[in-house]
Amino acid sequence: MNDTPDTDGMTEEGRTTRGARQRGPEDTAVIRKALGVALATGVYGITAGALAVAAGLSVLQAMALSLLLFSGGSQFAFFGVIGAGGSPVAAVASSTLLGVRNGFYGLQVSQLLGVHRWARPVAAHFTIDESTAVAVTQTQPRQQRIGFWVTGVGIFALWNLTTFVGAVAGGSIGDPRTYGLDAAAAAAFVGLLWPRLRGRDPLAVAALAVVITVVSAPFVPAGVPVLAAVLAALVVGLPARGPRSGVVAP
Amino acid sequence: MWLAVLAACALAYGLKLAGYLVPQHVLDIPWVHRVTPLLPVALLSALIVTQALLTNDGTLVVDARAAGVGVAVLLLLLRAPFLVVVAAAAVTAALVRALA
């Protein structure tokens, strides 16, 4: 695993070795992480499919959400509102609010991937919590790219397969939470961030983000607490003071 | 309903794409350049708390999820491999739920 903290020279060095093709244990490590995350998250599509149909959506509509929207939080928000008897407009609004964070992810992920102009629309579709988490917690461009694509495409494949199964089978197939998969998904994020929480700034950002989320959560709609945590990055990142070690410098 | 489904999909994709369409010269502004690498840390930390400790209405609760993530943190302190950490969290949460 890449447990070495970032050094200040990392960015330039990383750029020059971008095209390098050396395959090593780092590749295996990131692929293993990516597939682990894909498995822990992808199976959750069963719930996405089952809940969508339970809320009154058709199997085709459930599939459209997983294929085209492809962002778990937004999908659950969408049929959460519909299932509770809310209006379609409210469902769209709620789902969109949950999707704002993907836009923030794109800012950083686009820098790491260095994708061509034509590939950006494709990369954008796969930009979700998990693919971002695996990518930004790698220190080398090669592993960042591998992590992003393997996680993104892996989850997409599994998520859509399990959404279909969940939508067709409904509640009869069981709740992934019985197997602790919700805890596994959260633990995967912790495990990914863990080696990156070494520098002063990432630690400060993480701690502040946790406080902002917990304090704001009871008072604002779902999705807003996570967005409010952007403040943590602003508070820590805005003051210009000397060289710093971010998670991964772009 | 189809209209709402497709509108939600279009808006979600638009937001994802927006992050990629911010011009390089904007990202190169010093303060933007300092803040963007910290954004995923902030968002993912918030997400972890949401997933492990908060209910749907935003109340703080310590349940099977927190137990699973707690075990994960312990194993990370012991330098356990990533997949072991993730699997142990699942097993812990499943056990806590089965026993509850």
Q: Is the same domain home to B8 and B44?
A: no
CA–CA min distance A155, chain B (Å): 16
Q: Say yes or no for a CB contact (<8 Å) between A107 and B1.
A: no
Which sequence spans correspond to the domains of chain A?
Answer: 25-177, 197-250
Which residues is B54 bridged to in the sheet? B60
| 3-state SS, residue A9 | coil
pLDDT of residue A1: 40
Q: Are residues B52 and B91 in the same domain?
A: yes
Write out the two tokens for A189.
Answer: 């994020």
Helical H segments across chain A, by residue range: 10-16, 25-42, 45-54, 59-64, 72-83, 88-113, 120-125, 129-136, 141-169, 181-193, 200-216, 224-228, 230-237
Classify residue B58: in a domain, yes or no: yes
Identity of the residue in B16, B46, B56 whose CB atom sits nearest the CB atom of A102: B16
Note the pLDDT of residue A241: 62
The pLDDT of residue A37: 95
Domain check: are B21 and B64 in the same one? no
Same domain? B80 vs B44: yes
Question: Looking at residues B5-13, what average pLDDT do you find?
Answer: 98
List CB contacts (< 8 A) between A120 and chain B. 17, 20-21
Query: Mind listing the pLDDT tens digit for each residue in B61-82?
Result: 999 999 999 999 999 999 999 9
Q: Is A104 on the interface with B (CB under 8 A)?
A: yes
Instruction: Specify whether B54 is located in the same domain as B13.
Output: no
pLDDT value, residue A10: 40
Of B8, B38, B65, the CB nearest to A91: B8
Quick check: is B82 in a domain?
yes
Q: B46 with B95, same domain?
A: yes
Q: How many whole angstroms separate alpha carbon B51 and alpha carbon B65?
A: 8
pTM for the whole thing? 0.88
B chain contacts of residue A139, beta-carbon cutoff 8 Å = none
Contact at CB, A104 and B39, closer than 8 angstroms:
yes
Choose the closest CB to A222 out of B19, B27, B56. Answer: B56
CB of A48 within 8 A of CB of A71? no
For an interface test with B, which of A3, A39, A92, A127 has the most B Cβ atoms less than 10 Å from its Cβ? A92
| CA-closest candidate to residue B4, choices A73, A119, A232, A81 | A81
Q: How far apart are CA A52 and CA A65, in angstroms?
A: 9
What is the chain A residue with the closest CA to B36?
A108
- Domain co-membership, B52 together with B94: yes
B15-50, pLDDT tens digit by residue? 999 999 999 999 999 999 999 999 999 999 999 999
- Contact list in B for residue A106 (CB cut-off 8 A) is 16-20, 22
Q: Which of B16, B29, B71 to mutate to test the interface with A (most CBs of A within 10 A)?
A: B16
Q: Which parts of chain A sit beneath pLDDT 50?
A: 1-20, 244-246, 249-250
Does any domain span residue B70?
A: yes
Q: B87 and B45 in one domain?
A: yes
**Residue B50 shares a structural domain with residue B93:** yes
Q: For residues B21 and B41, state if they share a domain.
A: no
In the structure encoding, which two tokens stand for residue A162, read together? 């399990």
- Which of B22, B35, B56 is facing A238, going by the closest CB pair? B35
The span from the CA of A14 to the CA of A17, in Å, is 5
> Is residue B77, in this structure, part of any structural domain at all?
yes
- Write the residue in B3, B17, B42 that is nearest to A121 by C-beta: B17
Q: Residues B61, B87: one domain?
A: yes
Q: What is the pLDDT at residue A170?
A: 82
User: How many folded domains does chain B comprise?
Assistant: 2
pLDDT at residue A12 in the model: 40
B32 occurs within a structural domain:
no
Binary contact (A186, B68; C-beta < 8 A): yes
Q: Which residues 60-79 of A have a C-beta within 8 angstroms of B?
A: 61, 64-65, 68-71, 74, 78
The residue with greater pLDDT, B14 or A43, is: B14
Range of the domain at B1: 1-27
Give the CA-trace dihedral at A233, B67, A147, A196, to 10 degrees.
Answer: 40
User: What single-letter amino acid sits at A203?
Assistant: L
Do the domain assignments include residue B86? yes
Residues B43 and B79 placed together within one structural domain of the fold:
yes
Model confidence over A115-174: pLDDT tens digits? 788 899 999 999 999 999 999 999 999 999 999 999 999 999 999 999 999 999 987 877
Q: Does A198 touch chain B (CB under 8 A)?
A: no
